[in-house]
Amino acid sequence: MCSLSRAVITEFVFLCLSPEALVINDPDFQHEDLNFLSRSQRYEQAIRKSSLMVMKLREYGIADPEEIYWFKRTCLGNFIEPFGLHFSMFHKTIETQTTDAQKKKWLPLVRGVKIIGTYAQTEMGHGTHLRGLETTATYDPATQEFILNSPTVTSIKWWPGGLGKTSNHAIVLAQLYTQGQCKGLHAFIVPIRQLGTHEPLPGITVGDIGPKFGYDEMDNGYLKMDNFRIPRENMLMKYAQVEPDGTYVKPVSDKLTYGTMVFIRSLIVGDSARSLSRACTIAIRYSAVRHQSELKPGAPEPQILDYQTQQYKLFPLLATAYAFHFVGAYIKDTYHRISGDIHDGDLSELPELHALTAGLKAFTSWTANAGIEECRMACGGHGYSRCSGIPDIYVTFTPSCTYEGENTVMMLQTARFLVKSYNQVSSGQRVTGMVSYLNDLSRQRIQPQHVAGRTEAVRINDPVSLVEAYKARAARLVEAAAKNLQAELNHRKSKEDAWNRTSVDLVRASEAHCHYVIVKLFTAKLSEISNAAVCAVLTELCLLYALYGISRNAGDFLQAGILTDTQITQVNQRVKELLAVIRPNAVALVDSFDFHDVHLGSVLGRYDGNVYENMFEWAKKSPLNKTESVSLFHQSKQNCKSCHSGLY
The two beta strands, 117-120 and 169-178, are parallel
DSSP-derived pairing of the beta strands 204-208 and 117-120: unpaired
Cβ closer to a second copy: 343 or 626? 626
Whole-angstrom distance, CA of residue 244 vs CA of residue 36: 55
User: In 33-186, which ranges are continuous DSSP H helix?
Assistant: 39-60, 65-70, 84-85, 91-96, 100-111
Nearest CB to a second copy, comparing residues 270 and 389: 389
497 membership: H or E segment, kind and range: helix 495-501
| Full DSSP string of 572-619 | HHHHHHHHHHHGGGHHHHHHTT---HHHH--STT-TT--HHHHHHHHH
Q: Which is nearer to a second copy, 16 or 643 (CB)?
A: 643
Neighbours of 229 (CB within 10 A): 13
Closest among 303, 363, 301, 299 to 328, alpha carbons compared: 363
What is the C-alpha to C-alpha distance for residues 394 and 486, in angstroms, rounded to an integer?
Answer: 40
Angle at 119 (CA atoms; ends 115, 121), nearest 5 degrees:
150
Q: Known binder of ligand: residue 122?
A: yes
Helix ranges, 90-160 (H): 91-96, 100-111
Rounded to a whole number of angstroms, the minimum distance from the CB of residue 489 to a second copy is: 15
Distance of alpha carbon 311 from the chain centroid: 26
Tally of CB atoms within 10 A around 44:
14
- What is the smallest separation between the CB atom of 386 and a second copy, expressed in angstroms? 4
> How far apart are CB 198 and a second copy at their closest, in Å?
5
Q: Tell me if residue 511 is catalytic.
A: no
H/E/C letters for each residue in 277-339? HHHHHHHHHHHHHCECCCCCCCCCCCEHHHCHHHHHHHHHHHHHHHHHHHHHHHHHHHHHHHH
**Contact assessment for residue 584 and residue 1, using Cβ atoms and an 8 Å cutoff:** yes
By C-beta, is 12 or 69 nearer to a second copy?
A: 69
Q: How far apart are the first and last CA of the chain?
A: 64
Comparison of 432 and 636: residue with beta carbon closer to a second copy: 636
Helix, strand or coil, per DSSP, at residue 359? helix
Nearer to a second copy, 386 or 420 (CB): 386
Shortest distance, CB of residue 229 to a second copy, whole angstroms? 22
Catalytically annotated residue among 404, 456, 511, 577: 404
Which lies closer to a second copy via its Cβ, residue 47 or residue 264? 47
State yes or no: 402 annotated in a binding site: no
Report the C-alpha gap between 434 and 451 in whole angstroms: 19
Would you list which residues are annotated within the binding site? 122, 161
Q: Which residues are catalytic?
A: 404
Question: Which parts are annotated binding residues for FAD?
Answer: 122, 161
